Amino acid sequence: MEPIQSTGRGSSGNPVANLDGSREQAGGTTILTELQQTVMPALLLFLVLTFVTGVVYPLAVTVVAQLAFSSAANGSLIGDPQHHIGSELVGQSFTEPRYFWGRPSATTPAYNGLGGSGSNLATTNPALMDAVKDRIARLHAVDPDNAAKIPVDLVTTSASGLDPQISPTAAQYQAGRIARERGLPLEQVTKLIAQHTQMPTFGFLGQPRVDVLRLNLSLDALK
Amino acid sequence: MNTYAAIEIAVFFVILLALVKPLGLYMARVYQGTPCGLNQVLLPVERLIYRLSGVRPDSEMTWQRYAVAMLLFNLFGLLAVYGIQRAQGLLPLNPQHLGAVSPDLALNTAVSFASNTNWQAYSGESTLSYLSQMLGLTVQNFLSAATGMAVLVAFIRGLTRQKVAEIGNFWVDVTRSTLYILLPLSFVLAIALVSQGVVQSFGPAIDVTTVTASTDAEGKPIQTQQIPQGPAASQIAIKQLGTNGGGFFGVNSAHPLENPTPLSNFLQVLAILLVPAALCYTFGDLVGDTRQGWTLLASMLLVFVPLLALGLWAESVGNPRLADLGVDANASLLQSGGNLEGKEVRFGVGASVLWSAATTAASNGSVNAMHDSFTPLGGLVPMLLMQLGEVIFGGVGSGLYGLLIFAIVAVFIAGLMVGRTPEYLGKKIEAFEMKMAALVILIPPTIVLAGTALAVSFDAGRAAVTNPGPHGFSQILYALSSAGNNNGSAFAGLGVNNVFYNSLLAIAMFGSRFWLIIPVLAIAGSLARKKQVPISAGTLPTHTPLFVVLLAGIVVLVGALTFVPALALGPIAEHMQLLSNSAP
């Protein structure tokens, strides 16, 4: 590959003519007329490229998306079309002891689909400490005999406020409580967690995780 | 950080570096007008675009004319984004029935997108109609990125041409950047993202009945949730590839419908650095010596990798105050551990910190975790990467022309040391170039520091702060660093959607974008007029490890000298506070 040559081969058909043409324009016209000569191409090119990138491109993506990945393109909804019970990608709020709890959510109300938000509390903010202490107290209140350390994802808010998942460690921490509340053998709950544990994609992308909504739905399905 | 994260980050660098040459070569062919593989399909489209616009693709421009064309083209973009937002209530594709955006917010967003900053004072799902997102934001994502690439190519022509006044044709450069590079890449990425669950539809948000009831703000029980919809994937693809960063949703790529899976996350973070990295190869190819391009890339990595490592360490250690409460934040093969406040479980600490470094090294600014909740040093890394002037990868095009300006300063300083006239790629660097280079290097820090001083001096500036102590100052410093370097990332707690910040940051974004491009083009025009001087014994080779260190050193030195005092008041003071308070 040769470098762009001094004659401006890059984007010009006939460099000599261009050079002369440009010089004539620069010499024979004022700045004002030069501006006028530039306004129309600027406006028209802007409009044409707006059409290409703002209409043709998103519509083309939409057509392919709706044809090839119809469920994914429409929010990955679960449940029958008349009665959707959620999206498999968006977390829901669970506060009853008989369900696995997800990440604390900073949105109002919790897991507000149209109002995703993090807490944006700094590590040094006393309000963060108060919130974490409160969450620890709530977890202990529904599971007083559990002496294990609480996994960090159960007491910290997610970035989106809609995090659908918890770590397998956080699910396992709650297994005893679920088994007791539902009168199930602990092994069955542990097995269910294992079934719903997704390992990193290709073995290394992302983190191991458990989808809280799916896990709770399959808990309900056990009966 | 666990083993998965370590492998993910290693694989990230391998794939990124493997793509530099093929994409870089492709882009070089596009800008040279030689067959690149897509000509059969796209050449007729390109010709049609010129015909409809009344553009003569073969007429060359002086640097002044190029600058006027660039400014007018971007002015129309700015006005269009403003107008569409103000009128969105009357326009179609608005199923959520959102009203007109307030004038200050609309202006802020218009400048933000026209300047390739993509600062988000708005929250997409509750503020902008689908039409505003498509015709306003998506379009500017393409065109502001293409503008940066065009200016880079014009600058390269300044280096390679001799004794001419012209540096190319802006219309052609911006059209080719859009049509041959950004559009095909975005289309492929958008479809890949949809396959992972990013929404791409035009219906209104869908109501679902949740499994259990929860309570709303007034304490009333609710059992519905709204799942947002919209043409998101098409916008997110170009938001990443064009180093734009403005999200479709308020929480950007932390939103599970904007970035649903570890694979979508990997593709998006790769897309952030892909074009800026590959342009280094394009540069080397166009100047006829690919070693020159690899040298620039090596300088970028020399700054990037240690800062990434610092961020990973800080976030993996996590918040010592939580450890004191008996919380288990240890990394294992079953949990990420570390500081998970403001992070998503599917990404964990590793992929979140990698993103935070990539998005601020490149002037992207999208987030997949909330930087405001990072540890003090974890938050210092993205802040410093912006303050270095967005030349470590930087914006598409703009990052590389910024680094080339630093290269000019580097050869000048080296020239002073040995007492020779400095030259870069055979072009003598003289007083005019140095004056312009000084402008380019000094404008952003001036905007950042003066803007921060202004914000902390006014009640309206201080009232927006949401965290006490040094972190509050960090929030303001971060916002100005972001706007003043056209990044767009935020310590999102800062309440910026008000007249004070919308105006201040709009001025910062405008100044640091367009007032830099003009001196850059002036240097290009000046260099194009000069003739190439032959290499002599006194020429400093600019493709050696020595130059890699010299260039990286100057970037870090300028940034450090400018910002260490401010950083000491913010993240560094906060780090000390975190350590001392957590002691038993």
Residues near B128 by Cβ (< 8 Å), separated by ≥ 6? B85, B88, B98, B101, B122, B136, B137
User: Do B373 and A151 lie within an 8 Å CB cutoff?
Assistant: no
Residues 178-197 of A with CB under 8 A from B: none
- What confidence score (pLDDT) does residue A20 get? 37
Q: Smallest CA–CA separation between B200 and chain A, in Å? A: 5
Cβ B166 vs Cβ B528: under 8 Å: yes
- Would an 8 Å CB–CB cutoff place A30 in contact with chain B? no
Q: Could you tell me how many residues make up chain A?
A: 223
Q: Confidence band (pLDDT; 50, 70, 90) for A10? A: very low
- Would an 8 Å CB–CB cutoff place B390 in contact with chain A? no
Q: In sequence order, what are the beta bridge partners of A150?
A: B327
In the numeric block, the tokens 């007429």 are attached to: B59
- Would an 8 Å CB–CB cutoff place B210 in contact with chain A? yes
Q: Confidence band (pLDDT; 50, 70, 90) for A223? A: low
pLDDT at A87 over 80: yes
Q: In sequence order, what are the beta bridge partners of A84?
A: A79
Residues 402-431 of B with CB under 8 A from A: none
Cβ B460 vs Cβ B498: under 8 Å: yes
> Which residues of chain B are within 8 Å of residue A75 when distances are taken between CB atoms?
199, 201, 206, 227-229, 257
Copy the structure tokens of residue B577.
């506070």
Residues near B580 by Cβ (< 8 Å), separated by ≥ 6? none
- What is the C-alpha end-to-end distance of chain B, expressed in Å? 25
Residues near A140 by Cβ (< 8 Å), separated by ≥ 6? A146
- DSSP per residue, B247-310: -SSTTGGGSTTTS-SHHHHHHHHHHHHHHHHHHHHHHHHHTT-HHHHHHHHHHHHHHHHHHHHH
Best of B196, B249, B335, B465 to disrupt the A interface (most A CBs within 10 Å) is B335
pLDDT at A24 over 70: no
User: Do A46 and B202 lie within an 8 Å CB cutoff?
Assistant: no
- Would an 8 Å CB–CB cutoff place A73 in contact with chain B? yes
Q: What is the mean pLDDT of residues A7-22?
A: 38
> Which residues of chain A are within 8 Å of residue B129 when distances are taken between CB atoms?
none
- What confidence score (pLDDT) does residue A15 get? 37
- What confidence score (pLDDT) does residue B216 get? 79
- What confidence score (pLDDT) does residue B120 get? 86
Tell me the helices (H) and strands (E) count for chain B, helix number first.
22, 5
User: Do B65 and A65 lie within an 8 Å CB cutoff?
Assistant: no
User: Do A11 and B53 lie within an 8 Å CB cutoff?
Assistant: no
pLDDT digits (tens, 9 = 90+) for A204-220: 999 999 999 999 999 99
Q: Smallest CA–CA separation between A101 and chain B, in Å? A: 12
User: Do B345 and A158 lie within an 8 Å CB cutoff?
Assistant: yes
Q: In sequence order, what are the beta bridge partners of A86?
A: A78
> Which residues of chain A are within 8 Å of residue B343 when distances are taken between CB atoms?
156, 158-159
Spatial distance between the Cα atoms of B420 and B435, rounded to a whole number of angstroms: 18
- What confidence score (pLDDT) does residue A17 get? 37
- What confidence score (pLDDT) does residue A29 get? 55
Q: Where are the domains of chain B?
A: 3-582
Residues near A152 by Cβ (< 8 Å), separated by ≥ 6? B318, B322, B327, B328, B329, B335, B337, B338, B340
Q: What is the mean pLDDT of residues B308-313?
A: 98
- What confidence score (pLDDT) does residue B125 get? 80
Spatial distance between the Cα atoms of B452 and B441, rounded to a whole number of angstroms: 18
Q: In sequence order, what are the beta bridge partners of A197?
A: A210
Spatial distance between the Cα atoms of B279 and B290, rounded to a whole number of angstroms: 11
Spatial distance between the Cα atoms of B511 and B489, rounded to a whole number of angstroms: 17
Spatial distance between the Cα atoms of B287 and B400, rounded to a whole number of angstroms: 14
- Distances from the Cα of A167 to the Cαs of A154, A208, A209, in angstroms? 9, 6, 5
pLDDT at A8 over 70: no
Cβ B494 vs Cβ B370: under 8 Å: no
Spatial distance between the Cα atoms of B480 and B448, rounded to a whole number of angstroms: 5
Copy the structure tokens of residue B139.
């379009």
Compute the count of residue pairs across chains A and B with CB atoms less than 8 Å apart.
500
Spatial distance between the Cα atoms of B493 and B505, rounded to a whole number of angstroms: 16
pLDDT digits (tens, 9 = 90+) for B62-110: 999 999 999 999 999 999 999 999 999 999 999 889 999 999 999 999 9
Best of B93, B123, B209, B344 to disrupt the A interface (most A CBs within 10 Å) is B344
- Would an 8 Å CB–CB cutoff place B527 in contact with chain A? no
pLDDT at B183 over 70: yes
Cβ A179 vs Cβ A185: under 8 Å: yes
Best of A205, A212, A220, A223 to disrupt the B interface (most B CBs within 10 Å) is A205
Q: Confidence band (pLDDT; 50, 70, 90) for B417? A: confident
- Would an 8 Å CB–CB cutoff place A209 in contact with chain B? yes
User: Do A207 and B345 lie within an 8 Å CB cutoff?
Assistant: yes
* Degrees, nearest 5: CA angle A110-A116-A122: 85
On the question of a cis peptide bond just before residue A109, with omega within 30 degrees of 0, the verdict is yes
- Would an 8 Å CB–CB cutoff place B255 in contact with chain A? yes
- Distances from the Cα of B53 to the Cαs of A87, B58, B572, in angstroms? 45, 14, 53
Backbone angles phi, psi at B94, to 5 degrees: -135, 60
User: Do A41 and B492 lie within an 8 Å CB cutoff?
Assistant: no
Q: What is the mean pLDDT of residues B220-227?
A: 91
Q: Where are the domains of chain A?
A: 17-68, 79-221
Spatial distance between the Cα atoms of B333 and B328, rounded to a whole number of angstroms: 14
Nearest CA in chain B to A8: B161
- DSSP per residue, B354-383: HHHHHHHHTT----SS-GGGS-HHHHHHHH
* Degrees, nearest 5: CA angle A218-A220-A222: 70
Best of A1, A4, A132 to disrupt the B interface (most B CBs within 10 Å) is A4
- What confidence score (pLDDT) does residue B580 get? 85
Burial of B480 (0-12, 13-18, 19+ CB in 10 A): buried
Closest to B280 (Cα-Cα) out of B15, B27, B512, B14: B27
- Would an 8 Å CB–CB cutoff place A130 in contact with chain B? no
Burial of B3 (0-12, 13-18, 19+ CB in 10 A): middle
Q: Confidence band (pLDDT; 50, 70, 90) for B33? A: very high
Q: What is the mean pLDDT of residues B424-436?
A: 95
Copy the structure tokens of residue A139.
């977890």
- B6-13 own/partner pairs: CB under 8 Å, 24+ apart: B6/B350, B7/A203, B7/A204, B8/A200, B8/A204, B8/A205, B8/A206, B8/B266, B8/B350, B8/B351, B8/B354, B9/B308, B9/B312, B9/B350, B9/B354, B11/A204, B12/B266, B12/B269, B12/B270, B12/B354
Spatial distance between the Cα atoms of B398 and A213, rounded to a whole number of angstroms: 44
- Would an 8 Å CB–CB cutoff place B211 in contact with chain A? yes
Residues 77-116 of A with CB under 8 A from B: 77, 79, 83-96, 99, 103, 108-116
Copy the structure tokens of residue B488.
């767009």
Spatial distance between the Cα atoms of B212 and A95, rounded to a whole number of angstroms: 8
pLDDT at B217 over 80: no
> Which residues of chain A are within 8 Å of residue B247 when distances are taken between CB atoms?
none
